[in-house]
Chain A
């Protein structure tokens, strides 16, 4: 089962590599994505047993992340059929292959319990995304790719040394040297706090960089801004969650070592900083894709704060993995359509999107409402859970800052998004061949419906999944 999950996308990559036709490739891509989702669901229904040696273990956290990633990936794959049709001018060879490799690595991250292996997989996703960001082949995109690659690599390198510290801690403690989560958690008590703390710091910085926590987020606006819509969607809806999963693993470890407080506080502080930074940079944002990037910074901040708060907020954080991922999909895909149609991502040029593209404009507006945490959409559930638990825990200041930055972000985003979608299309604005078609509008619409559904009703199995995940992250007493 595990093997299938990893291998299938790789086969897909191979196949798409061999296929010459640009028209056919996206279809193959969606086919394999569908297969991957199938396997995922199968694995959710009958959880495969932990592999001998415990390298592969499909626990609730992995399930949540894998589910959201797989769904998002399928949607993006289907969208790519319609989208790439408008990008016939360049070959999508690298794009499709890269996507599938990335999918394979991503699945590996979710199912492995060996931190080293997880790290390798994460690094692979980083690398495999680089050529995708460079899809547009121009000066700006190369710059974006460069920054993305260097900053993320440095981050991942730091994560690696963090892992080394952890390993060395086991050696120093004279326990069986291992990077298996299970083993580490077993003898966590024996590990020397000095190494462990250093390890935690480095891992936090490393995975935080990949996740885009401020002030390690600097690559995000550039990469998201220059990458095609669907790549942006996968970056902000998929890779972010993978990095967050890695942080969750570290968190589990901290819980085992009983030295959680420092890690939690660090998370809260960095999360709040991220939210404030997002609030500052979203105001007067002249480029709507960059705005979405900062929104992503905001949401990783939210997840970090939730993780730091612990308790009931954990549930919110886990649910936010799904909610944020899917909603970001809606936003990026629809913004991709708008970008295509206006051939500009400047908020000064894009006006009256609702008039020109009723569907995409509407989806973008709805996505905005959803991502800012308005009911009846899924992000409301998670954000409200987090805020309320902050106040219920009596941590008024955190709650207040959280809420304040959410409000500022809402205002900033509203002042950017509403003028874009409303009003009349400026007469001089450039007209392109783009039209809303079922292939370009259907996928984000499906995502939006999903987001809405999760906003009003969480199915029982998902509920149990989330609570199991939260149970894994409970502070032991």
Chain B
């Protein structure tokens, strides 16, 4: 069992890596794919840390399907329908963003270090990874202009939360699943719908166009 968990731990490193990719990439489609991959990885994690059960399988399948395929598909369609030529258009340059990402990751490790944990989670990096991913999500949300990029940011944030959920999975499965699924609901359907509405209204997903509502 433990070796499984070690594997999961190594996968988490991959997740962190993907965070940096999604921060650093200048190609929208690429970052969408990156997030999709992240989703898939996360989808497999429960299978690694929990004993086998059909229920588990179902969960895994759903998550992988949604995070890995449906959402990216929706976003991709939105991007294409809005014929986005130019790329991410960061509000903050890539290098600074990456540096910030690094700083936050370090910080999250520090933060996790200060919090008490169960011995069996002690030497794994679930908590720091989740917090780091969360912060990456925030970083994307605060530094990217396009609506799509912000959805991506939101999804990364979600993934962070999901990682933390893994710690609780056996303690309160319903809770975790409900949370995860509800977020997926928001992430996919509502956001997808709104995104498509936007692209229809503005024929662009640059949220800097979505700034007519403000105080003069």
Contacts and interface: CB of A to CB of B under 8 A. Distances in A.
Do chains A and B make direct contact within the complex (CB under 8 angstroms)?
yes
Interface of A: 116, 119-120, 123-124, 127, 130, 134, 139-140, 142-147, 149-150, 153-154, 157, 160-161, 163-165, 167-168, 170-172, 177-179, 192, 194-195, 198, 221-222, 225-226, 281, 286, 290
Contact of A149 (B190, B201, B202, B216): B190
B141 interface: yes
Given A119-B179, A149-B191, 4 more contacts: A130-B190, A142-B198, A160-B183, A171-B118
B161 A164 contact: yes
B212 A157 contact: no
A119 B182 CA distance: 10
Contacts of A123: 182, 186
Contacts of A170: 171
B167 interface: yes
Contact of A127 (B172, B190, B201, B213): B190
B49 interface: no
Contact of B212 (A143, A165, A195, A286): A143
The prevalent SS among residues of B at the interface is helix
Interface stretch (B12-20, B93-101, B150-158): B150-158
A149 B151 CA distance: 11
Size category, B interface: 35 or more
Interface in B110-160: 114-118, 130, 134, 141, 147, 150, 154, 157-158, 160
B215 interface: yes
B119 to A, nearest CB: 10
Interface centre among B117, B172, B178, B198 (most CB of A within 10 A): B172
B62 interface: no
B168 A161 contact: no
B7 interface: no
Contact of A161 (B141, B164, B186, B191): B164
15 contacts: A116-B174, A139-B202, A142-B194, A143-B211, A157-B161, A163-B179, A164-B164, A164-B165, A167-B171, A168-B168, A172-B116, A172-B117, A177-B168, A192-B115, A198-B115
A194 B117 CA distance: 10
A117 to B, nearest CB: 8
B185 interface: yes
